[in-house]
């Protein structure tokens, strides 16, 4: 479970280079994105300078006017939830799923 204030780790690199696989952040906030699929998105303390997004889950474009840069929860795992062997499994799954 994602919990605000806990540490999370990126399990894939962001396509525009905002973070890399293995980077650790403190989760500052989360919400459903403005996309119609209502995917869970996470605030990791980055700000954005645009308001148009492409949804990580369904590929649709959507707009969001908040200053915080929210990223798909699918790019992260909560560190508390996993031990190292499970993390390795997660990373391997991520590599082989498209």
Summarize as ranges the residues that interact with Zn ion (CB under 5 A): 35, 37, 55, 57-58, 60
Judged on CB neighbours under 10 Å (0-12, 13-18, 19+), 89 is exposed
Q: In what order do the strands lie in the sheet with 40-47?
A: 29-32, 40-47, 68-72
Least separation, in Å, of the C-beta of 69 and Zn ion?
17
Of 37 and 95, CB closest to Zn ion: 37
**Distance (Å, whole) CA 40 – CA 95:** 21
Least separation, in Å, of the C-beta of 97 and Zn ion?
17
Of 58 and 66, CB closest to Zn ion: 58
Least separation, in Å, of the C-beta of 19 and Zn ion?
20
């Amino acid at each position: 479970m994602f919990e605000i204030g806990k540490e999370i780790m990126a399990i894939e690199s962001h396509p525009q280079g905002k973070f890399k696989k293995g980077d650790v952040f403190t989760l500052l906030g989360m919400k459903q994105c403005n996309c119609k699929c209502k995917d869970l998105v996470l605030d990791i303390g980055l700000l954005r300078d645009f308001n148009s997004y492409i949804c990580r889950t369904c590929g649709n474009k959507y707009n969001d006017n908040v200053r915080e840069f929210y990223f798909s929860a699918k790019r992260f795992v909560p560190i508390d939830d996993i031990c190292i062997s499970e993390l390795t499994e997660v990373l391997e799954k991520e590599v082989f799923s498209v």
